[in-house]
């Protein structure tokens, strides 16, 4: 009986704290490769995300992600640099919410701007939507490895063209508090 009481008092609370619960908050940063081709020249950059996530229930969370991108951060063959900035609020539904790992689907829609010289226009407005899977893998008491694989579309609404379109793989870290 003492063993059962010890288990209930000490082990169960640690297991439940490890899972995401209503009121849990996660701060995270993630990065994705960003290859582009401009004027038949290949460039290579990165997209960065900084996100805040709040659980409104054990399976549903709301997040806000600030993003920035630079298509020539690593390799600049074209001489055309595209910087983008913006904010995308999202909703996440957790299909798997275990002690060591979580799997979720996300969907979001937001706005931003793109800084690129195209004719007479230098700053352009963007609309962005994303949908896709993600996962967290616990690597420490409050530290998570984060993987996102969303399909996203960034539409330049000033020029009425797609700025970016496709699946991106993001890898990052999350801190739970």
- Tell me how far apart the terminal alpha carbons of the chain are, to the nearest angstrom: 34
Q: What is the three-class DSSP state of 49? A: strand
Domain ranges within the chain, ordered by starting residue: 2-176
- Range 119-125 average pLDDT: 71
Mean pLDDT, the chain, rounded, equals 87
> What was the pLDDT predicted at 37?
85
CATH topology (fold) of 2-176? Porin (2.40.160)
Name which of 4-13, 16-25, 70-79 the model is least confident about.
Answer: 4-13
pTM for the model stands at 0.82
Q: What is the three-class DSSP state of 15? A: helix
Residue 163 has, within 13 A of its CA and on its CB side, a CA count of 28
């Amino acid at each position: 009986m003492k063993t059962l009481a010890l288990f209930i008092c000490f082990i169960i609370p640690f297991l439940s704290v490890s899972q995401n619960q209503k009121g849990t908050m996660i701060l995270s940063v993630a990065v994705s490769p960003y290859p582009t081709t401009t004027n038949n020249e290949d460039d290579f950059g990165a997209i960065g995300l900084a996100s805040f996530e709040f659980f409104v229930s054990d399976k549903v969370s709301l997040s806000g992600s600030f993003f920035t991108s630079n298509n020539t951060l690593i390799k600049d063959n074209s001489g055309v640099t595209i910087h983008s900035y913006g904010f995308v609020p999202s909703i996440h539904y957790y299909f798997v919410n275990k002690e060591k790992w979580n799997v979720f689907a996300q969907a979001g829609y937001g706005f931003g701007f793109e800084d690129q010289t195209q004719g007479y226009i230098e700053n352009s407005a963007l609309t962005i939507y994303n949908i896709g899977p993600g996962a967290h893998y616990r690597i420490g008491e409050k530290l998570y490895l984060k993987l996102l694989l969303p399909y996203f579309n960034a539409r330049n609404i000033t020029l009425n063209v797609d700025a970016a379109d496709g699946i991106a793989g993001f890898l990052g870290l999350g801190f739970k508090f």
